[in-house]
Structure 1
Amino acid sequence: MNSSDIKSRIKMILDAEAAAIDAIKVDETYEKALDILQNTPGKIITTGMGKAGFIAHKFAAILSSTASPAFFIHPSEAAHGDLGMVAPGDCIVAFSTSGKTREVLEFIELSRHVEAGKVIGITSHPDSGLRDLADVIIDMGVIKEPCPLGLTPSASMAVMSAVSDALALVLMERKGVTRHEYGLRHHGGYLGKQARTDNIE
C-alpha cells in the first residue's frame, strides 16, 4: 500500500465513522433516557463487555465529573460478587452493539432480583435481546463497519461514544451544572485550572 493509498483509506475510514454518527436518529427515547438519568433515586451504573465496556467506563467517568455520580461494573465481575454493588433504585445503562452479549443480559436480569431501577439500553441490532430487558432503548441504527473484514466495530464504537457524550452533556445542562461545580469534581490538570478561572485562555 503506497502513501496515496494509505491517505485514501484513512480518509474513507474517517468519513465512514462520521457518516455513522450523522445517521443517528434522534427521537423521544433520548428525552426518556435523560428523565431516568436525572430522576433516578439511586446511583447510575454503566456496563458493557469488551470495547463497549470501554465506552461504558468513559460514560461513567464523564457523568461523575459533571455532577451525576456514576460507576462502571464489569458484567463478568457482577457474576462473582460485584452485583452486590447494585442497590434498589439504581439506574443501569447497558452498552452492547449486538444486544446479545450473554454477560450483559445476565447482569440486567439478575439486577432485577436486587430491585434495581430502570434500565437504559444502547444497542444496534434489531433482534437484540437487550431490547426486551430495557425500559428505554436508544437505537444506534444499522452500522456498516469500515474494517476490511467487516468485523472490527470502529464505527459502532464511534456512534456509541457520541450517543453517550450527548446524553452526558445534555444531562449536565439540564441540571444547571456551573463551572464552580465542575471544578469541585475535576480540580486537577488543565481542565481543573480552567474550571477555576473566569476566562478560558
Structure 2
Amino acid sequence: MNIVDRMGEILQIQQKAIMALSIDSHYKDAVDRIYNAQKEGSIVITTGMGKAGIIAQKMSATMASIGIPSFYLNPAESLHGDLGKVRENDLLIIFSHSGATSEVKEMIASLHKFHQQTNPTILVSGTSTPQFDVDVLISYGQIQESCLVSKVPSTSTTLMLIIADILAITAAEKLGFNDVWFKVRHPGGIIGKTYAKKDE
C-alpha cells in the first residue's frame, strides 16, 4: 500500500460525500424547531450511541457555547434513571447512521410511556426509513465509509458533524447570536483574553 495515495483516497471519499450534501426543507424545519424550543424555554437534548454519540456531545457543547441551552443524554444511561432529565416538551436531536440504534429505540419508547406522549425529535441519519418515529428527518443518504473496513464510522460521522454545525449555527444566528452572546459565555481562555483586550 502506498500510504500517501491511500490518504488521498480517504480524503477524496469524504470530500465527495460532503459535496453531495444539499440543504432542503428538512434543514429549515430542524432549525425552526431548535429556535422554537429556545423561545418556549425547552432544552435541546442531543443523543446517540458510540461515535454518533460523540458527535451529539459536540453539537450540544457548540449550542451551549453560542447561547442555546443543551445537554447530551446517553441513550443507555437514560434507561437507568436519566430519563428524569427530559421534560415533556424538550427537543431531542438524535444521531444514528442506521436509524435503528436499539438503545435509542428503547429510550424513545420509554419516554413515550413516561410522558404519555412523544417528545419532538430530529434525526440525523443515513437512512430514509428510521425504525422509530421522528418529526424531522435529515438524511445524508447512502455513503461510502472511507475505511477499508466499511463498518468503521468515518464519512458518516464527518457528515453528522457538518450537519450539526449547520443546524446549531443557523439556529443561533436566527435567535440573534452575536459577539456579545459569545463573550459572556467565554470569560476564560484565549477567547476570553481576546475579548478583554478589545475592552481595554
TM-score (norm 2): 0.91
What secondary structure does 2:55 align onto?
A: helix
- Aligned ranges for residues 147-162 of structure 1 at < 5 Å? 147-162=147-162
Counterpart pick for 2:131 among 113, 129, 132: 129
**How many Å separate the matches in 1 of 2:24 and 2:196?**
36
Task: Give the C-alpha shift of residue 197 in structure 1.
Answer: 5.0
| Shift in alpha-carbon separation, 1:176–1:195, aligned structure 2, 3 A | farther
The runs of at least 4 aligned residues of structure 1 exceeding 6 Å deviation read none
Summarize deviations over 1:130-185 as a string: whole Å, max 9, x none. 4xx11000111111112112121100000000000111111121111121211111
Q: Structure 2 counterpart of 1:156, which letter?
A: S
CA distance, structure 2, for counterparts of residue 116 and residue 67 of structure 1: 26
Where do 5+ consecutive residues of structure 1 fail to align?
Answer: none
- C-alpha distance in 1 between matches for 2:130 and 2:195: 41
What secondary structure is seen at the aligned counterpart in 2 of 1:120?
strand
Amino acid of the residue matched to residue 16 of structure 1?
I
For the pair 1:108 / 2:108, whether they are aligned, the reply is: yes
| Structure 1 residues 195 and 136: alpha-carbon distance in aligned structure 2, compared to 1, 3 A threshold | farther
Bigger shift: residues 48-57 or 168-177: 168-177
Shift of 1:18: 1.6
Distance of aligned partners of 1:103 and 1:48 in 2 relative to their CA distance in 1, 3 Å threshold? same
User: How far, CA to CA, are the matches of 2:142 and 2:54 in structure 1?
Assistant: 21
CA contact (8 A) 1:180 1:195 kept: no
- State, as a whole percentage, how many aligned pairs show the same letter: 36
Verify the 8 A CA contact 1:67 1:182 in the aligned structure 2: yes
Give the Cα separation in 2 of the matches to 1:62 and 1:12.
30
| Post-superposition offset of 1:195 | 4.3
| Secondary structure of the corresponding residue to residue 122 of structure 1 | strand
- Mapping for residues 46-57 of structure 1, pairs under 5 Å: 46-57=46-57
In structure 2, the residue corresponding to 1:45 is in which secondary structure?
strand
Q: TM-score, normalised by structure 1?
A: 0.91
Give 5+ residue unaligned stretches, structure 2.
none
Q: Tell me the equivalent position of 2:93.
A: 93
Per the alignment, in what secondary structure is the counterpart of residue 37 of structure 1?
helix
Alignment match of 2:28 (pick from 31, 36, 58): 31
Tell me the residue number matched to 2:74. Answer: 74
* Aligned counterpart, 1:16: 13
Q: Output the CA distance in 2 between the equivalents of 1:73 and 1:152.
A: 23
C-alpha distance 17-195 of structure 1, shift in aligned 2 (>3 A): farther
For residues 90-140 of structure 1, the C-alpha deviation after alignment (integer angstroms, 9 at most, x for no partner) is: 00001000011110111122222324631001111233214xx11000111
**What is the aligned residue count?**
194
SS of equivalent residue, structure 2 residue 122? strand
CA RMSD of aligned residues (A): 1.6
Contact 1:179 / 1:195 at 8 angstroms: preserved in 2? no
Pairing 1:178–2:175 present: no
2:122 is matched with which residue?
120
